């Protein structure tokens, strides 16, 4: 394990990626973003990798960005620095290996937006999706400002992105974010069943068809990502963000221990 990401290449050609920081609800650090990006980028050129799975250990899929860690490596809006989170998002958008995500507990921020770039999303009953970007003084990423309105409609997207309203697995499936809703306690068997079904398909036909399904939208998605990334980097320098994040840490300090 490196950087709290378990990367396992299974014999049958499945690349398993597990967020393994349960004591911090799998909040994603810069090092974790780099490890995920490295794994997905390497799978792209490896024809023996037929499928990628993404899971989270513990009670949650992920609490999103580890804000304390992220603020130590804030991108400079005037720099061409290619930070790991942006590498990961581009790798997900350009990837031509089918990806299955298994979601339980909370999927916060990028924990929701990364799912737009997965081919299958298994959502366990009781899980919760939330995109609190505006509350933190930020803008959304992962081309979610483009994809969410197309899936959910502009007004529902405004509820989820502008207001930061959480939503559950049924809503996620109805709008097309989740492909399957799974009963509590059945996520791992459901993932294993879906993996087996996909692995039974002719591998090159599966890979090429997945690429065709994505092809038309990829350039548009990458363009929107670059636009969002520029705004995101600028927002990080703003007083609004500093105040919002200070308020977030103050509220967390006052919260009773779980």
CA distances from 177 to 15, 101, 149 (A): 22, 11, 12
Q: Which CATH topology does 5-186 take?
A: 2-enoyl-CoA Hydratase; Chain A, domain 1 (3.90.226)
Tell whether the model's pLDDT for residue 147 goes beyond 70: yes
Of the candidates 92, 30, 35, 38, the residue with the CA atom closest to the CA atom of residue 65: 30
Q: How far apart are CA 188 and CA 197, in angstroms?
A: 14
DSSP one-letter code for 136:
G
How many of the other CB atoms lie within 10 Å of CB of 172? 24
Q: How far apart are CA 66 and CA 19, in angstroms?
A: 13
Tell whether the model's pLDDT for residue 172 goes beyond 60: yes
Q: Please report which confidence band the pLDDT of residue 214 belongs to, taking 50, 70 and 90 as the band edges.
A: confident
Indicate the domain borders of the chain: 5-186
pLDDT tens digits, 70-83: 877 766 656 656 78
- pLDDT score for 74: 67
How many whole angstroms from its chain centre is CA 101? Answer: 9
- pLDDT score for 81: 63
Tell whether the model's pLDDT for residue 185 goes beyond 60: yes
How many of the other CB atoms lie within 10 Å of CB of 69? 16
Q: Percent of the chain at pLDDT above 90? A: 82
Tell whether the model's pLDDT for residue 229 goes beyond 70: yes
pLDDT tens digits, 29-65: 999 999 999 999 999 889 999 999 999 999 999 999 9
Q: Percent of the chain at pLDDT above 70? A: 95
Q: Please report which confidence band the pLDDT of residue 1 belongs to, taking 50, 70 and 90 as the band edges.
A: low
Tell whether the model's pLDDT for residue 136 goes beyond 90: yes
* Average model confidence (pLDDT) across the chain: 93
- For the entire predicted model, the pTM comes to 0.94
């Amino acid at each position: 394990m490196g950087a709290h990401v378990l990367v396992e290449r299974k014999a049958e050609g499945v690349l398993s990626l597990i967020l393994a920081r349960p004591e911090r609800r799998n909040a994603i650090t810069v090092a974790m973003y780099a490890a995920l990006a490295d794994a997905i980028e390497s799978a792209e050129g490896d024809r023996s990798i037929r499928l990628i799975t993404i899971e989270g250990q513990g009670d949650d899929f992920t609490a999103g960005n580890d804000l304390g860690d992220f603020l130590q490596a804030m991108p400079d809006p005037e720099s061409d620095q290619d930070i790991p989170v942006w590498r990961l998002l581009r790798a997900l958008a350009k990837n031509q290996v089918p990806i299955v995500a298994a979601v339980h507990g909370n999927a916060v921020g990028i924990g929701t937006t990364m799912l737009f770039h997965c081919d299958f999303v298994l959502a366990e009953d009781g899980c919760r999706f939330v995109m609190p970007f505006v509350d933190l003084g930020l803008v959304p990423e992962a081309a979610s400002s483009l994809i969410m309105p197309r899936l959910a409609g502009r007004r529902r997207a405004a509820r989820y992105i502008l207001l930061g309203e959480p939503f559950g697995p049924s809503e996620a499936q109805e709008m097309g974010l989740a492909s399957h809703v799974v009963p509590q306690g059945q996520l791992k068997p459901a993932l294993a069943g879906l993996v087996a079904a996909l692995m039974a398909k002719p591998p090159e036909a599966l890979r090429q068809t997945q690429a065709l399904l994505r092809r038309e939208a990829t350039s548009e998605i990458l363009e929107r990502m670059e636009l969002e990334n520029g705004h995101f980097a600028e927002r990080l320098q703003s007083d609004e963000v500093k105040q919002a994040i200070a308020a977030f840490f103050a509220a967390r300090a006052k919260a009773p221990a779980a």
